[in-house]
């Protein structure tokens, strides 16, 4: 009982700390119109922050109704007029371009423009401000050496110290920005931290869980590839909370994994849908395989330094997505 009480007090302290850190602060969120960004902005507002959203996409209606300032901005063009007279204390850099599964030839150019160049231009601008306390970057586990986690039958627990060898262009761009941030922080008086995020899913996203929920409720069959692959699925709301805590805590490290620490097979995700939606779930199996994978996050460092772990199970998360899609109908 005593041990449990200590943990509870630590977690409560962490919540109060995030509220105190952001209250009255200017917080810039790039990519705030996305699934993680929407959750993040709502949490920041709840903690009393002044938030500005930079994103070339239209932001969620609920954020507009909350009075969030949204600026449609192409960061690759160095047009940062919206930042003038808004000196950020914190920057959450979420904006990114990516393609699912296999990257196409055309993505080579858009990756450089929207991931590498945009990040460079953003850092060039925000590091001018003396107000800046910390940059929190949404990186990815895709920067790790893919040979480590290419066996679904033996899922590999990835640690922050594992070898780096990005498996695609998006992963390479994430690594570039991580490196740039650590370099800049040696010359400037602000902190940086990168979260290597795992398989995110959330309301209205392009992820496979959201797509399947929509298809099933529409009465359409879902196509299942590589059912034995195992991923560390993490709910977008938990990602947002994890990023907030990384921003508000004086961390001992520059990089942290951000997943659940649990490997879940594609087949298990399908079974959860079947259990929840019964006869409505029609499945079409295919022999076509996508990149073999079996991975999950080692969350030891995150749990130790942040005194928190993601709270939404895959079953709970899928139910949230189903409820969201039903409300849209």
H-helix or E-strand spanning residue 71: strand 69-71
Provide mean pLDDT across the span 18-46: 92
Provide mean pLDDT across the span 197-210: 95
82 falls within a domain? yes
Residue 157 belongs to a domain with what CATH number?
Answer: 3.40.50.720
Please report which confidence band the pLDDT of residue 83 belongs to, taking 50, 70 and 90 as the band edges: confident
Residue 151 has a pLDDT of: 93
32 falls within a domain? yes
Please report which confidence band the pLDDT of residue 19 belongs to, taking 50, 70 and 90 as the band edges: low
Two tokens, residue 114? 């929207």
Closest CA to 138 of 23, 236, 25: 236
H-helix or E-strand spanning residue 296: strand 295-297
Two tokens, residue 180? 């740039």
182 falls within a domain? yes
329 falls within a domain? no
Contacts for 51 with CB less than 8 Å, ≥ 6 apart: 27, 28, 29, 32, 41, 44, 45, 68, 69
C-alpha of 42 from chain center: 15
DSSP assigned state of 114:
I
Residue 253 has pLDDT above 90, yes or no: yes
Residue 16 has pLDDT above 70, yes or no: no
Contacts for 218 with CB less than 8 Å, ≥ 6 apart: none
Provide mean pLDDT across the span 166-180: 93
293 falls within a domain? no
326 falls within a domain? no
Provide mean pLDDT across the span 93-121: 85
The residue count of the chain comes to 329
Rounded to whole angstroms, the Cα distance separating 133 from 90 reads 6
DSSP assigned state of 77:
G
Residue 67 has pLDDT above 80, yes or no: yes
List the domain range (segments joined by +) for residue 99.
2-198+235-259+298-311
Residue 294 and residue 149 in contact, taking contact as beta carbons nearer than 8 Å: yes
Residue 150 has a pLDDT of: 94
Higher pLDDT, 139 or 56: 139
The residue behind tokens 């200017």 is: 26
The answer to which of 35-44, 102-111, 181-190, 246-255 has the lowest mean pLDDT is 102-111
Residue 287 has a pLDDT of: 61
85 falls within a domain? yes
Output the average pLDDT for the chain: 89
283 falls within a domain? no
Task: Report the chain's C-alpha Rg in angstroms.
Answer: 20
Counted domains in the chain: 1
Provide mean pLDDT across the span 126-154: 95
Residue 292 has pLDDT above 90, yes or no: no
Show the CA angle centred on residue 81, arms to residues 183 and 44, nearest 5°: 70
């Amino acid at each position: 009982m005593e041990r449990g009480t200590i943990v509870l007090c630590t977690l409560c302290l962490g919540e109060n700390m995030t509220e105190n850190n952001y209250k009255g602060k200017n917080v810039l969120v790039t990519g705030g119109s996305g699934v993680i960004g929407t959750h993040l902005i709502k949490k920041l507002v709840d903690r009393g922050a002044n938030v500005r959203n930079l994103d070339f996409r239209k932001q969620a209606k609920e954020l507009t109704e909350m009075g969030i300032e949204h600026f449609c901005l192409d960061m690759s063009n160095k047009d940062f007029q919206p930042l003038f007279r808004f000196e950020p204390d914190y920057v959450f850099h979420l904006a990114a371009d990516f393609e699912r599964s296999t990257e196409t030839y055309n993505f080579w150019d858009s990756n450089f423009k929207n991931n590498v160049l945009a990040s460079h231009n953003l850092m060039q601008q925000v590091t001018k401000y003396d107000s800046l306390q910390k940059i929190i970057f949404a990186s990815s586990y895709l920067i790790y050496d893919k040979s480590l986690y290419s066996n679904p039958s033996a899922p590999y627990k990835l640690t922050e110290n594992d070898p780096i060898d990005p498996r695609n262009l998006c992963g390479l761009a994430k690594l570039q920005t991580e490196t740039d941030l650590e370099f800049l922080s040696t010359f400037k008086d602000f902190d940086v931290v990168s979260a290597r995020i795992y398989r995110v899913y959330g309301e209205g996203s392009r992820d496979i869980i959201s797509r399947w929920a929509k298809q099933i409720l529409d009465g359409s069959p879902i196509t299942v590839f590589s059912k034995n692959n195992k991923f560390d699925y993490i709910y977008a709301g938990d990602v947002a909370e994890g990023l907030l805590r990384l921003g508000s805590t004086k961390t001992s490290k520059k990089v942290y994994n951000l997943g659940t620490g649990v490997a879940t097979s594609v087949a298990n995700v399908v079974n959860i849908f079947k259990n929840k939606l019964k006869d409505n779930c029609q499945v079409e199996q295919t022999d076509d395989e996508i990149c073999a994978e079996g991975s999950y996050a080692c969350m030891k460092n995150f749990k130790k330094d942040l005194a928190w772990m993601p709270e939404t199970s895959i079953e709970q998360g899928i139910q949230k997505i189903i409820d969201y899609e039903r409300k849209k109908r």
